Amino acid sequence: MKQRLLGSLAVSEIGFGTMSFASVYGASPDRAEAIRVIRGAHDLGVTFFDTAEAYGPWTNEELVGEALRPIRDQVVIATKFGFDIDSATGQRRSGLNSRPEHVRQVVDASLQRLGVETIDLLYQHRVDPAVPIEDVAGVVKDLTAEGKVRHFGLSEAAAATIRRAHAVQPVTAIQSEYSLWTRDPEPEVLPLCAELGIGFVPWSPLGAGYLTGTIDVTTAIESNDFRAGSPRFTPEARAANQALVDLLIRIAADKHATPAQIALAWLLARAPFIVPVFGTRRLDRVEENLGAAQITLTAKDMTEIETAIAAINIQGDRLPAAVLQFSYR
């Protein structure tokens, strides 16, 4: 697989997000199978893997560390801090915590769980309004000087916050939700990334599975699946948003591809500094999604897609209000 640069950090042009191996889509899969899929993604060319202390909490970092240990020198591992998680019990409290002393504790614990000496890319998971971003960037700068962190990132941050952080410690990557049905980063964040030489990492590039064309109004969503509480996954929203999936299906047929591949290829065509990270529990889906890198969307294709999307009114907020409140601060 080709590589792209997030700032100065070289990674595969498509990355693998491992949150789906936590219990966000229902019961977690068998550990051995999860490890097989993660290692299989590397065999297929992925060198960029994404996790977070909050996934579990903690269990996902342990899983990723075990899966990637034999190939540690061949991969880039990104993890995140920022939620208020009790360091003794692992219980997640309601709220954020990016106090410098807490960030240090989290980094030390993440290093141990991942079984690595250095975190390749460390994101602030959400901006903490109680802690000046300069203080957050400052502690990451210190951790970088100590060899515990290589690169600094922010997730779901506003453009003004990114600029302030970058002035203290260079920001390598911004990770925010971005896809054909979630385009919030376009007005301010993507132009700023281009200006400052920062990479952009879309999470949920396939709309939590909706843009794959495998979910419709009749699809059953279990109560322990986070999508059961998502405004975009109500039956009414799914019915209203079917027009976007129908568009992807039509384009995919013309390109001899799948809707998921078109959704990812669209992101790759948007800018050379964009590296989407998708998640799945199935190795065949990993292989399918990586096929997006072989699809070329021309300028004409992109214009036609843009024109068609302009006529589609996406229904439903991208996240529940309780979660959405932490974004773009």
In terms of C-beta density within 10 A (0-12 exposed, 13-18 middle, 19 or more buried), how is residue 2 classed?
exposed
9's tokens: 């950090």
- Collapsing DSSP to helix, strand or coil, 243 comes out as helix
Give catalytic status of residue 210 as yes or no.
Answer: no
Q: Which of 150, 152, 61, 151 is nearest to 114 (CA)?
A: 61
Give bridge partners of residue 201 from the DSSP assignment. Answer: 175
CA distance 54 to 238: 28
Q: For 279-299, give one letter per residue: b (16+ CB within 10 A) or e.
A: bbbebebbebbbbbbebebee
Q: Evaluate whether 245 touches 213 at the Cβ level (below 8 Å).
A: yes
Q: Report residue 188 CA to chain centroid gap.
A: 19
The full length of the chain comes to 329
Choice among 25, 55, 178, 210 that is catalytic: 55
Helix or strand run (H / E) with residue 200: strand 199-203
Q: Which of 121, 38, 115 is nearest to 79 (CA)?
A: 121
185's tokens: 């980063």
Amino acid present at 215: I
Q: Evaluate whether 83 touches 113 at the Cβ level (below 8 Å).
A: no
Q: Report residue 203 CA to chain centroid gap.
A: 3
Q: Evaluate whether 174 touches 122 at the Cβ level (below 8 Å).
A: no
Strands 92-96, 48-50: pairing is unpaired
Q: Evaluate whether 106 touches 150 at the Cβ level (below 8 Å).
A: no
Residues serving a catalytic function are 55
